[in-house]
Amino acid sequence: MDNKKKIRVGLIGCGFMGRTHSNGYSKVSNFFPDLAFQPVLQAVCARREERVKAFAGQWGFKSYETDWRKLIQRDDIDAIDICTPNHLHAEIAIAAAEAGKMVFTEKPLARNLEESQKMVEAVERAGVKNMVWYNYRRLPAVTLAKKIIDSGKLGRIFHYRANFLQDWTISADLPQGGDAAWRMDIDVAGSGVIGDLLAHCIDTAMWLNGGIANVSAMTETFIKQRVHLDTGKKQDVGIDDACIFHCHFQNGSLGLFESTRYARGHKALYTFEINGENASIKWDLHDLNRLEFFDNSVDSDVKGWSSIHVTNGDHPYMDKWWVPGLGIGYEHSFVHQVADFLKSLETGETMQPNFRNAFETQKVCEAVVESAKTKEWKETGVEFKG
Amino acid sequence: MDNKKKIRVGLIGCGFMGRTHSNGYSKVSNFFPDLAFQPVLQAVCARREERVKAFAGQWGFKSYETDWRKLIQRDDIDAIDICTPNHLHAEIAIAAAEAGKMVFTEKPLARNLEESQKMVEAVERAGVKNMVWYNYRRLPAVTLAKKIIDSGKLGRIFHYRANFLQDWTISADLPQGGDAAWRMDIDVAGSGVIGDLLAHCIDTAMWLNGGIANVSAMTETFIKQRVHLDTGKKQDVGIDDACIFHCHFQNGSLGLFESTRYARGHKALYTFEINGENASIKWDLHDLNRLEFFDNSVDSDVKGWSSIHVTNGDHPYMDKWWVPGLGIGYEHSFVHQVADFLKSLETGETMQPNFRNAFETQKVCEAVVESAKTKEWKETGVEFKG
Amino acid sequence: MDNKKKIRVGLIGCGFMGRTHSNGYSKVSNFFPDLAFQPVLQAVCARREERVKAFAGQWGFKSYETDWRKLIQRDDIDAIDICTPNHLHAEIAIAAAEAGKMVFTEKPLARNLEESQKMVEAVERAGVKNMVWYNYRRLPAVTLAKKIIDSGKLGRIFHYRANFLQDWTISADLPQGGDAAWRMDIDVAGSGVIGDLLAHCIDTAMWLNGGIANVSAMTETFIKQRVHLDTGKKQDVGIDDACIFHCHFQNGSLGLFESTRYARGHKALYTFEINGENASIKWDLHDLNRLEFFDNSVDSDVKGWSSIHVTNGDHPYMDKWWVPGLGIGYEHSFVHQVADFLKSLETGETMQPNFRNAFETQKVCEAVVESAKTKEWKETGVEFKG
Amino acid sequence: MDNKKKIRVGLIGCGFMGRTHSNGYSKVSNFFPDLAFQPVLQAVCARREERVKAFAGQWGFKSYETDWRKLIQRDDIDAIDICTPNHLHAEIAIAAAEAGKMVFTEKPLARNLEESQKMVEAVERAGVKNMVWYNYRRLPAVTLAKKIIDSGKLGRIFHYRANFLQDWTISADLPQGGDAAWRMDIDVAGSGVIGDLLAHCIDTAMWLNGGIANVSAMTETFIKQRVHLDTGKKQDVGIDDACIFHCHFQNGSLGLFESTRYARGHKALYTFEINGENASIKWDLHDLNRLEFFDNSVDSDVKGWSSIHVTNGDHPYMDKWWVPGLGIGYEHSFVHQVADFLKSLETGETMQPNFRNAFETQKVCEAVVESAKTKEWKETGVEFKG
């Protein structure tokens, strides 16, 4: 592997996403041996030294930092990967871009459209490589959906629907804020399910079905007050617990999106379905190795929804793993994203989704927030045409 | 059976619904032998004599008519059952009520709120028994859902979602109007999927989860012109091909409804799901003998969605049929509705859903139509509190 | 309907099967209006007058008897339909044949091969129409399986497997014998799951995949003694509670069959699967309106098990019922069998399965019993070649 | 990580299983950071230098060998892990044991009982740690099944059934022998599906349900001759393509096993089901993150098969991975096995399954082979009582 070109990564944040990314970097060369580039776990950064040191040891980072500004200035770092809570994305990303580093950030791009715009401008001005971890595109079944849609098999599209249903915040005893519950804190997260969950749905949807033109949304906060870990006091909850919106895509199809953390019985039920004139596709994260496909051209009496177990050698990414029938897991999407990024360095093609793509997603999120607030339809201003 | 009191039925219309109702009447005494009342297939009425005569022979009606006004005046008829296209519901129902007959009508109650109101007033003024064939309430799995919800097992309700997806009108060659395609003709049907499909979803939803307070809707007509069978010419299509709306229920839960005839791969996919604090329920018409139930009080490590095959003797209606594991079909819901109606005559309890209940459903439909037109939220004015 | 030729039926037995058959006779003309023949519920017979009288009233039989010998002698009866416990099949069928009646009998044909043989000889000697109620052939999904197999789409067959799993006899408190528990009494039933459940599996299997050549079986009686309702005392249980066998079909494929009444969680889980070189098929009675189909000729990346909702107008029998997506139930298989029998009278084709076909099934059952007893492979002696 | 005790592994073989094991070793410390021991990828060995060198580079092995005898003699190796074709298991394992190394081997233990016995004797004589990679025990859903069974929730067991269905050898063009197709060569593999697939089923079965006492089996070789890659000529195929057997477990329950490589449509469909007096469990490798559970103590009207998505923090191993709802894949079972082995070094408990356990599994395989050959029931001689 010594002849591979090294990309020295500086990772900021060592929570859940710090782990998924670290795993992606450390696995990619085992399973994608033909890549010309190889990531190196050069440094990890987090505020608490004890924690970051342990994390560095666990994952094999060569060094660690407790101040992200210092990390960004290091000469031995090629890429900054941001796994912090959302409120730090913009500041770090802009600084990293200005320091000439490649910049990767967890989704959503930022807390709001304004921050997002500055980030896009920063990376484009600096001319640095950038990407956002909308990882679900890289699950083989989802990539296969894209491939089928791009083949034209669906014909004119009539409907797209997606939801992301969870149930982990139903208890009124759950706090907000602090390290443990920053996703519940409006100042840190920027929104509730909109940025956390719907952003995934929107990214996938626009990748598969083109731009969303306008939206009509509603949101709800079921539990109005929760103890804030920073103050120890009950405070108003600012995030949305649930959000529903319908929309028009630019191609004329109707969209329907729902997300909540109050759907008892669903842990991470991300599903989407697309209905075309000639064929339809369904997917469900709880069965992530499957894709359901309905092909209307099949003989009438044996026509039905086909359950494709996306584990064959000719399925996306699956020549890299095991044998037909043996499934992979959630984390593999991150390995694939690393592989695709490294490949893009080789080919010179623009990696997607990058900050620019994620900015379009952010426009839809912002329109959703606005529509829910004003109870009116909102134009998204999304520019690309799918 | 001679000691049973007879209800002599005059059925108007001999299409699809004429068949389901006739079957309901003819089967009920075989499977519900303990009822004090028994329906008699006294007469059937339709415009074309040849057709109605054949239908009478096929189903064992004692006589037939070709003019519904004549049928209504007959002394040997106790109940008028309306299975005509929607535009005739109001006129016939009002006349039948004025003639002192019991009145049953297929759903939706009428083409619009105005007609509906007159019908409610007519039956209530006349003091005649009345009901509307929102048959899905009487599928055992749906009735079981009601029973579970009424038991309080779900706790506070957060979400209700339902859809009714079909794919039979995708072809641009399909005509509108005439006997064959009256559901595609705005003047006859009153609306598209709203009255045909969403009305079912709304009836079930308000029965299970209480009144819908306000709605925000969108509709679409994908194919703008179709040949009209009455004129032979291409004419504008007035009905909605698809409709999506979200809403607030009076109990504070969020609702989400979608219906379309352009969801390739779905024939009659009526599904609903309700998420409560402590439990959730799902149902799907394509698997009509099952109910999915998630009970959060189960031990954490073995907790999951439970697939209830609703075919046990202690499940609703199922002591009347076969043995556990042996499913029943769609048409049985009509048999059950007849049985429940006959039982209500015995007990004196008010049969549901009656015209009054269906009028509330119609209010929601009307608000949906209005909201889609104006692109604004609409209050439904629904009065009951679930 | 007066121009239809009448088949006046005398039904013996008014238990579960008496109900399914009565329903079949009474529904057939409603849903198959074009048949030249029509069954008439002429008489029903059972020992206890009160019960048979009530049954006659409930189902609309014109008369009743309490002695089956008397019924057989009546001039106004064209067909005798035997729904008694198994031990009476042979005696009644032979007498009915000798009286020149058409003879129908519930499955299994008889308690054992010897009785079966006499029955076949009797109907063939008398030259009377005859059939056995292996009703599952007439569920649309099963009939569709037959159609697909006959089309040759599967290619060379490698495997056939079927099971019929129930859980209703697990309690040691369940008695044997009497009217209520005759299926648990070896003298009346002849066997346990072999005749009751595996006979269904074998009938379907040989219809779909040809003759079974030889078998290797095991049986088990889990609960060795149960109270006998005739004596009130605990007595040895003679029936098999569970049976497993593997076999060779005459076409060289391997067969695997299992049945039990001790599979906790399964009510009536009759499933079969057939694997061919080019395609495979699966079916499950708990989802009786579906057929699963795997077609290996589909493009590799979208190939999968297709879930066919067998409710389209071009699916077997389904043009007679409702619209696509609306399922039918268990009892419809009996309606279809009546319709096919009446049609066979019209066309002159031999109705299947008849006594001769059921005799072949009985040979396999007998070989299974013998194999389990001797712990050796047994040749079945089945003659037909599929 | 420097304070962890190192286990220096020498891996023999760099095919499919070489990859799964290497991944297990390299991932374990990332996800199980609290273990006192850590595996080190010290050396990998395979005959062809170019290939083994590339593999070493890809996976980060410190060195490589082309002669396994040399590897075994190296002082810097603590454990030998055998991933070769089956015919080399015995020789290498015995030599490794004699050299005082820990010995791990892929399943099946060996080609036959005789080889297996010598291997057990060798490791027990040498007193070296040993284990066999029956990895499926370590999928969280399977481990959960074990936990539920051990809790006694199932009560008396009546039935156990398992199958392992594949379809990859249907083409007559597939060769036998050589590196590519050694699983098709009787001399190298020892058997067909029996050792390759049924051995997995038997290992799981006896772990969950205790010893198998006796068996009655059948086997088939559908394609009688295939080109042998060593000779280039068509030669008789010696392996079994398919095998079915039924059996008695020592606890009195009935067992049913089937495996084939000719089940069109199934890639790696390993399923098992166990039916007890009070509860039942089902599992399916194609949905490896789920366990189906039927608990008869649930209220009658809401009782059903519960689909447990085994991804919660309190599910086996799942506290080490992601968050509820996010599934893992096939390869994680190997990571878990490494973790459990390392833990056993810490606690001093005997690792299972070891050679002794796998020897018991081999006894059943041998009895199956013998039974199929002689067409008679065979006692297995299995000693443990579950």
CB C168 within 8 A of CB B324: yes
Q: Which pLDDT does position B174 carry in this prediction?
A: 96
Give the residue from B135, B158, B188 where a domain finishes: B135
Q: Which pLDDT does position C1 carry in this prediction?
A: 53
Residues A128 and A47 in one domain: yes
**Domains of chain C: total:** 2
D216 interaction partners in chain C (CB closer than 8 Å): 216, 218, 375
> C386 falls in which pLDDT band (50, 70, 90)?
very low
- Separation between Cα atoms, residue B257 and residue B201, nearest integer Å: 8
Q: Which pLDDT does position D3 carry in this prediction?
A: 83
CB D44 within 8 A of CB D8: no
- Separation between Cα atoms, residue C6 and residue A294, nearest integer Å: 46
> A3 falls in which pLDDT band (50, 70, 90)?
confident
The CATH number of the domain where A46 resides is what?
A: 3.40.50.720
- The residue in chain A having the minimum alpha-carbon distance to the alpha carbon of residue C140 is A301
To probe the interface with B, which of D151, D282, D289, D301 has the most B CB atoms within 10 Å? D301
CA distance A224 to chain B (A): 13
Report if residue C225 sits inside a domain.
yes
Q: How far from chain centre, in Å, is Cα B267?
A: 17
CB B110 within 8 A of CB B86: yes
- The residue in chain D having the minimum alpha-carbon distance to the alpha carbon of residue A56 is D1
- Separation between Cα atoms, residue B200 and residue D186, nearest integer Å: 63
Measured CA distances, D362 to A22, B135, D118, D164 (Å): 41, 59, 12, 17
B148 close to D (CB below 8 A): yes
What pTM does this model have?
0.97
* Percentage of the residues of chain D whose pLDDT score is greater than 70: 99
- Separation between Cα atoms, residue A90 and residue A193, nearest integer Å: 20
The pLDDT mean for chain C works out to 97
Task: Give the containing element (helix H, strand E) for A213.
Answer: strand A212-220
Phi, psi angles (nearest 5°) of residue B326: -100, 110
The CATH number of the domain where D141 resides is what?
A: 3.30.360.10
* Yes or no, beta carbons of D328 and A324 under 8 Å apart: no
- Separation between Cα atoms, residue A270 and residue A263, nearest integer Å: 12
| SS3 state of residue B219 | strand
Residue B386 clears pLDDT 50, i.e. is over it: no
Residues C106 and C167 in one domain: no
Q: What is the DSSP letter of C181?
A: B
The vertex-D156 CA angle with C236 and D251, nearest 5°, equals 85
- Reported as a single tens digit per residue, the pLDDT across B208-240 is 999 999 999 999 999 999 999 999 999 999 999
Helices B16-31 and C16-31, axial angle in degrees (round to 10) = 160
Residue C299 clears pLDDT 70, i.e. is over it: yes
- The residue in chain D having the minimum alpha-carbon distance to the alpha carbon of residue C263 is D275
CB B22 within 8 A of CB B47: no
- Separation between Cα atoms, residue A155 and residue A165, nearest integer Å: 29
| SS3 state of residue A73 | helix
The vertex-B129 CA angle with B126 and B134, nearest 5°, equals 125
Q: How far from chain centre, in Å, is Cα B167?
A: 20
Give the residue from D135, D158, D188 where a domain finishes: D135
Q: Which pLDDT does position B384 carry in this prediction?
A: 67
* Percentage of the residues of chain A whose pLDDT score is greater than 90: 98
Which among D95, D62, D96 is positioned nearest to D79, based on CA atoms?
Answer: D96
Phi, psi angles (nearest 5°) of residue B246: -115, 160
* Yes or no, beta carbons of A275 and B264 under 8 Å apart: yes
Residues 306-365 of A with CB under 8 A from C: 306-309, 312, 314-315
CB D107 within 8 A of CB D132: yes
Structure tokens at C51: 């019960």
- Separation between Cα atoms, residue B163 and residue B322, nearest integer Å: 30
Report if residue B384 sits inside a domain.
no
Which among B245, B271, B281, B85 is positioned nearest to B166, based on CA atoms?
Answer: B271
Q: What is the ipTM of this complex?
A: 0.97
Question: Rg of chain B's alpha carbons, rounded to an integer?
Answer: 21
Residue D180 clears pLDDT 90, i.e. is over it: no
Q: What is the mean pLDDT of residues C63-77?
A: 98
- Reported as a single tens digit per residue, the pLDDT across D320-335 is 999 999 999 999 999 9
CA distance D358 to chain B (A): 29
- Reported as a single tens digit per residue, the pLDDT across C144-201 is 999 999 999 999 999 999 999 999 999 999 999 998 899 999 999 999 999 999 999 9
Residues 6+ apart with CB under 8 A from D287: A287
Residues A157 and A118 in one domain: no
Q: The tokens 């499940």 sit on which residue?
A: B315
Q: Which pLDDT does position B1 carry in this prediction?
A: 53
To probe the interface with D, which of B142, B297, B302 has the most D CB atoms within 10 Å? B302
Enclosing domain of residue D196: 136-379
Residue D173 clears pLDDT 90, i.e. is over it: yes
Residues B120 and B160 in one domain: no
Report if residue A384 sits inside a domain.
no
Q: What is the mean pLDDT of residues B140-168?
A: 98
D258 interaction partners in chain C (CB closer than 8 Å): 161, 256
Alpha helix stretches (DSSP H) within chain D: 16-31, 49-59, 68-73, 89-98, 113-126, 140-150, 186-189, 193, 199-209, 332-347, 355-374
Report if residue B386 sits inside a domain.
no
- Reported as a single tens digit per residue, the pLDDT across D253-312 is 999 999 999 999 999 999 999 999 999 999 999 999 999 999 999 999 999 999 999 999
Residue C385 clears pLDDT 90, i.e. is over it: no
Segment D85-88 long-range contacts (CB within 8 Å, at least 24 positions apart): D85/D13, D85/D182, D85/D183, D85/D188, D85/D189, D86/D110, D86/D111, D86/D188, D86/D189, D86/D190, D86/D195, D87/D111, D87/D187, D87/D188, D87/D189, D87/D190, D88/D12
Report if residue D124 sits inside a domain.
yes
- Reported as a single tens digit per residue, the pLDDT across D97-113 is 999 999 999 999 999 99
Structure tokens at C288: 């009786």
Residue A11 clears pLDDT 70, i.e. is over it: yes
Residues B82 and B63 in one domain: yes
* Yes or no, beta carbons of D301 and B308 under 8 Å apart: yes
Measured CA distances, D209 to A51, B294, C242, D205, D310 (Å): 44, 29, 18, 6, 21
Residues A127 and A148 in one domain: no
Report if residue D81 sits inside a domain.
yes
Report if residue C96 sits inside a domain.
yes
Which among D283, D232, D237 is positioned nearest to D261, based on CA atoms?
Answer: D237
In single-letter form, the type of residue at position D114 comes to: E
Residues A145 and A42 in one domain: no
| SS3 state of residue B119 | helix
Residues A180 and A110 in one domain: no
Residue C143 clears pLDDT 80, i.e. is over it: yes
CA distance A292 to chain C (A): 9
Helices A140-150 and A199-209, axial angle in degrees (round to 10) = 30
Task: Give the containing element (helix H, strand E) for C203.
Answer: helix C199-209
> A58 falls in which pLDDT band (50, 70, 90)?
very high
Residues D38 and D147 in one domain: no
The pLDDT mean for chain A works out to 97
Helices A113-126 and A89-98, axial angle in degrees (round to 10) = 10
What does the DSSP assignment read for A302-343? G--EEEEE--STTSTTGGGS--TT----TTHHHHHHHHHHHH
Report if residue D386 sits inside a domain.
no
CB B354 within 8 A of CB B155: no
- Separation between Cα atoms, residue A379 and residue D29, nearest integer Å: 49
- Reported as a single tens digit per residue, the pLDDT across C71-81 is 999 999 999 99
Residue B280 clears pLDDT 50, i.e. is over it: yes
Residue A385 clears pLDDT 60, i.e. is over it: no
For B182-210, the three-class secondary structure string (H helix, E strand, C coil) is: HHHCHHHHCCCHHHHHHHHHHHHHHHHHC
To probe the interface with D, which of B144, B295, B306 has the most D CB atoms within 10 Å? B306
Q: What is the mean pLDDT of residues A229-244?
A: 97
Residues B147 and B103 in one domain: no
CA distance D27 to chain C (A): 30
Q: What is the mean pLDDT of residues A286-309?
A: 97
Q: Is the link from the previous residue into B175 a cis peptide, with omega within 30 of 0?
A: no
Q: Which residue has the higher pLDDT, D386 or B90?
A: B90
Q: How far from chain centre, in Å, is Cα D215?
A: 21
Give the residue from C135, C154, C179 where a domain finishes: C135
Residues B175 and B70 in one domain: no
**Per DSSP, what are the bridge partners of residue B364?**
none
* Yes or no, beta carbons of B305 and D306 under 8 Å apart: yes
> D46 falls in which pLDDT band (50, 70, 90)?
very high
CB A165 within 8 A of CB A266: yes
Residues B97 and B15 in one domain: yes
